[in-house]
Structure 1
């Protein structure tokens, strides 16, 4: 009788240690996936920012030459463009909190979107998630 109990506890201990190892591996893989997704969103944002930067740069260069011809002085045209840049810079500084909170929210959404997909996949049509009834279902 004692031998059966020891064998059962040994199997239980082995099953628990295997379970813990698998959960740690799953946590590690989920972390890798979130970091990769965040880096992908970050890289995409960098590319868009660079493209926007060069687009704005060339538009302002063209505007500087256009205003310079219109006003008869290329230097005056570029002074006006510098004024527009300073105005844009001031607007960005004024809305710093809104811009940073928007960026942080987008990063959080990108990192948490995996969790929402998992919850949607485990929900059944009756509104149950993992055996629990969701509010409003």
Structure 2
């Protein structure tokens, strides 16, 4: 019997909505915004094409060690954290169009250096199938 922390579940950012609130996850996302007021990074990864999933990543626990490189718009970052909320909003104008907003309490965040995004996507998709 192990009493250590639970391992994280590695998944694509677009698949976070298939998880549950409280799940510990690991994913890759691109920084599209940062609010210093709420200490929240906005992360996205449009895969598969047309995916409208947005993560509000609460980095409050990391503020002492967070650097500007990790909050730069366009920067890819790895995240390990707990899902705190899942919100699906459906657009009435377009059938099948919806946006998913996922809240994550970030435990660990680091910059993704020299990562081949398409290779990452193919690897995770093949693990799911």
Output the TM-score relative to the length of structure 2: 0.21
Question: Comparing both structures, which one devotes a greater share of its residues to helix?
Answer: 1
- Where relative contact order (Cα < 8 A, 6+ residues apart) is larger, the structure is 2
Question: Comparing both structures, which one devotes a greater share of its residues to strand?
Answer: 2
